[in-house]
Structure 1
Amino acid sequence: MESVNNKTAAQNHDQTAIPQVLIVGGGHVGLSFALLLAHHGMTSTLLEKGRYPDISPDADPKRSHYLDSRNTALSRRTVQIYQEIGLWSALQSHACRIDSVQISEQGSFGAATLNKDEEQVESFGQVMENAWLGRELLLAAKASPLITLIDGASVQEVSETGDQQVSVGYTLSDNGADDTAMHTAKARLLVACDGRDSSVRQLLGISTVTYDYQQTAIVGVVETDKGHEHAAIERFSPAGPLAVLPLTDADGDGNDAQQQGHRRSVVWICPKGEEEQYLNDDAHFLQTLQQAFGQRAGTFIAAGRRGAYPLTRVLAQRQVQGRCVIMGNAAHTLHPVAGQGFNLCMRDAHVLAKMLKHQATHGGDIGNANLLKRYETARQRDQKRVIRFCDAVVHGFTHPNPLVKFARNGALVAFDKLPNIKPLVANYAMGLKA
């Protein structure tokens, strides 16, 4: 968004009628939540601290990686949510479906495979580069008359005004030049989607429970000489869980039957402090992947740009305070094992949007304390289950005790062979049993 629009939107906010919802944090979760609200006919204003790129629908659609080097595994439930709001048609061309999931441990006998035909599903999910997902979410938000975007906005104050409104004071940054003037945005409800280090959460005085995994995720894109055949490979090593996920060809359409499928998203977990050797030396990175995965993915022949992300679990001790809701990574930042974090956030957003729509339709106050408490309670079971699952996998598969190692490999074999277990796990992973 151009800076002139940034300032104009901020000035208009100080003078015009308030929107129904104010969203702080305009990443994938914040943009998705704004679009969910718009789908239900509700207005929102979104404040984003960073600056959005100046893009348009007719600009070069090739992957620009303007966000980062990461990719997102979208569960079937998340795909259904994007279908519901009419966005999946724009996303699908750059999505690569997961037809099978292969699970094993380095240097051990245990292995299991989930296959879409056996589970009678269209796919287990889709993998998409963050650059494309972010582009399409932003274009859709900019095109919606129900969404106001204000980027370069740093939140400084949060307060309730006493007249069924919440007020946010923020300053603006325009291409590196700070505007010290305080702008004000008001709404019936504030939803904070501003990430692990949420400024709103801190301003509200909501504490967190934090656990440092002492690990770093190296994330990027690699190429192999063997086509991925839409298989996701989950591999456990002494350092932590690893994953190689299928991606579309660099310039192709994910729906094209002629896709060669040599591009793969990779998540490599290493102990904290060892990341530089994997970031700066392509040959060493590829050799390390080869040793860990063997020939399951073929030969790793090229590596693209990579990023390093420290892994820390951060859980807000409460997700509702007054007329404010904490959502996304601000509420629960999880280990990336099994790709559950973003999909959990999307289920949170979907549930809250539906509850707000129902409340507004019946003339109720969308910032009502009882309503927001019902939302928090309704989401606790799904959230706690995902958190326990992620931690159990991380700690269970990195425990060095030989007896524990034997037990977990036996469990993998049992999971692969025993009937009626795979459908339960598959539905859980796809987000269909929230």
Structure 2
Amino acid sequence: MQETGSPLSNSKSLPERREAVTDQQVLIVGGGHVGLSFALLLAHHGIASTLLEKNRYPTISPTDDRTRSHYLDSRNTALSRRTVQIYQEIGLWDELQSHACRIDSVQISEQGSFGRAQLNKVEEKVESFGQVIENAWLGRKLLLAAQQSPLITLIDNASVNAVAQQVDGVMLSFSNDDAAENEQQLQASVLVACDGRDSTVRQLLNIGTTTYDYQQTAIVGVVETDRPHEHVAIERFSPAGPLAVLPLTDPEGDGNDKYQHGYRRSVVWVCPTGEETKYLEDDAQFLQTLQQAFGQRAGTFVAAGRRGAYPLSRVLADKQVEGRCVIMGNAAHTLHPVAGQGFNLCMRDAHVLAQMMSAQVLKGEDIGNAQLLKRYEKARQTDQKRVIRFCDAVVHGFTHPNPAIKLARNMALLAFDKLPNIKPLVATYAMGLKS
């Protein structure tokens, strides 16, 4: 979670004495979007969980103002069609969609080259390719849903100190501050770590990682254009890296309403690491750089909001299951943001594991069984490897300066746009409908 503040009113007050809690089946470490979503998926199947988050959750209520704090101040996530279906499955999408904007078409091109392609929802016979949602709104709604669930126990401001695996469960030690006398313990059948790229749990389990530094930094923010987005997402490749301009909702109302003007757009601008400062501090230069890269495809960029810079690296856990512990989310695989695949891959992981645990509960069997968790790990390998290969192929393929490679990739874009049967296959994968 990005926001900080006071803990939720129903977050558990921790006793000062050392004690073990044994009535929860699943421990989840990491209360960001993936951790909260996984807890809600488990609750949908009637499985109780305790979720620990190292930061303090903000104080929120269902009656909070629904409007945005600032027209151009937002981070956003592109949700694939499959991710939308998952949130529909647990009854949350109706709450999310007011701040989500559908993607009707995707335009793909390379700066200074002739190759271009387009995906259109009418041609592919789908309602949309996905939705772009504001992170703050997604997090707020996930947190409210978890707060209201009787099957989810929330503990924030919690630092994990140790993980001990036993024959029939996992014991986790944590504290609310640096004082050792305030250390607490939790016990459950299984532990799922969703605590980010630098996962504490992964390190405590001595699970290594394979890391690759792209030597790129993503500049993320919101801009305004003088032309309505018309629900078009633009993927643009430059010598510096992949760029994206995605449609967003207007300040009021539903971004899927055809009467919305749609001048807000989410921007992901990738530059070589070390050059990010000039794009963060100077709005005029940032807008001019965007204009040069995108031309008039999005119209004229007229305003920019506050931006953040995020160094890009690929971090893959050497394994995602160790005994009764599962590594999930960015702790398992942190990817390049090209094509917005990372969070959606995490959601498919979470959905599959929740289903497998549910089936185990219905059979009256142990949800932390090591063989079950290994089956989960194996079941997710094909989808994960495909997405990782795709992201790296796009990043390296479209930044390689060799003229022959540049010609080949532009010919490939033309072929993609013209040859039959290729678009539906790519669209299906992009929407997360084939894993």
- TM-score, length-normalised on structure 2? 0.96
Q: Which amino acid aligns with 1:81?
A: I
Name the structure 1 match of 2:380. 379
Name the structure 2 match of 1:168. 172
Q: Which of 117, 141, 149 lines up with 2:122 in the alignment?
A: 117
Does the 8 Å contact 2:222/2:265 carry over to 1?
A: yes
Q: Which of 18, 23, 30 lines up with 1:25 in the alignment?
A: 30
Name the structure 2 match of 1:75. 80
Does the 8 Å contact 1:170/1:183 carry over to 2?
A: yes
Name the structure 2 match of 1:302. 303
Does the 8 Å contact 1:74/1:127 carry over to 2?
A: yes
Distance 1:299 1:359 in 2: 55
Name the structure 2 match of 1:84. 89
Which secondary structure does the structure 2 equivalent of 1:159 belong to?
Answer: strand
Distance 1:4 1:81 in 2: 28
Distance 1:169 1:228 in 2: 49
Q: Which runs of 5+ in 1 are unaligned?
A: none
Distance 1:310 1:186 in 2: 36
Per the alignment, do residues 268 and 302 of structure 1 end up closer, same or farther by CA in structure 2, a change over 3 Å counting?
A: same
1:207-286 equivalences in 2 (<5 Å): 207-286=208-287
Which secondary structure does the structure 1 equivalent of 2:64 belong to?
Answer: coil
Name the structure 2 match of 1:156. 161
CA shift, 1:426, in A, is 0.2
Distance 1:410 1:12 in 2: 67
Q: Which amino acid aligns with 2:251?
A: A
The answer as to 2:42 corresponding to 1:37 is yes
Q: Which amino acid aligns with 2:120?
A: N
Deviation string 1:5-38 (CA, Å, 9 cap, x unpaired) is: 5452567993544201000000000000000000
1:398-417 equivalences in 2 (<5 Å): 398-417=399-418
Name the structure 2 match of 1:327. 328
Does the 8 Å contact 2:20/2:184 carry over to 1?
A: no
Distance 1:178 1:11 in 2: 11
Q: Which amino acid aligns with 1:168?
A: L
Deviation string 1:329-367 (CA, Å, 9 cap, x unpaired) is: 000000000000000000000000000010011111111
Distance 1:106 1:139 in 2: 43
Q: Which runs of 5+ in 2 are unaligned?
A: 1-5
Q: Which amino acid aligns with 1:140?
A: A
1:85-104 equivalences in 2 (<5 Å): 85-104=90-109
Which secondary structure does the structure 1 equivalent of 2:183 belong to?
Answer: strand
Q: Which amino acid aligns with 2:386?
A: R
CA shift, 1:146, in A, is 0.2
Distance 1:279 1:95 in 2: 26
Q: Which amino acid aligns with 1:315?
A: L
CA shift, 1:60, in A, is 1.1
Distance 2:181 2:307 in 1: 36
Name the structure 1 match of 2:191. 190
Per the alignment, do residues 167 and 295 of structure 1 end up closer, same or farther by CA in structure 2, a change over 3 Å counting?
A: same
Q: Which of 115, 129, 136 lines up with 2:134 in the alignment?
A: 129
Distance 1:54 1:146 in 2: 20
CA shift, 1:64, in A, is 4.5
Per the alignment, do residues 348 and 229 of structure 1 end up closer, same or farther by CA in structure 2, a change over 3 Å counting?
A: same
CA shift, 1:3, in A, is 7.2
CA shift, 1:305, in A, is 1.1
Distance 1:95 1:194 in 2: 25
Does the 8 Å contact 2:18/2:183 carry over to 1?
A: no
Distance 1:323 1:402 in 2: 50
Distance 1:330 1:168 in 2: 17
Deviation string 1:94-120 (CA, Å, 9 cap, x unpaired) is: 110000000000000000000000000
Does the 8 Å contact 1:25/1:47 carry over to 2?
A: yes
Distance 1:84 1:236 in 2: 35
- TM-score, length-normalised on structure 1? 0.96
Which secondary structure does the structure 2 equivalent of 1:305 belong to?
Answer: coil
Moved more, 367-376 or 56-65: 56-65
Distance 1:95 1:4 in 2: 28
CA shift, 1:189, in A, is 0.3
Does the 8 Å contact 1:10/1:150 carry over to 2?
A: no
Does the 8 Å contact 1:172/1:180 carry over to 2?
A: no
Distance 1:133 1:224 in 2: 24
Q: Which amino acid aligns with 1:70?
A: R
Q: Which amino acid aligns with 2:234?
A: I
Which secondary structure does the structure 1 equivalent of 2:175 belong to?
Answer: strand
Does the 8 Å contact 1:6/1:152 carry over to 2?
A: no
CA shift, 1:70, in A, is 2.2
Does the 8 Å contact 1:9/1:148 carry over to 2?
A: no
Distance 1:324 1:118 in 2: 44
Does the 8 Å contact 1:71/1:130 carry over to 2?
A: yes
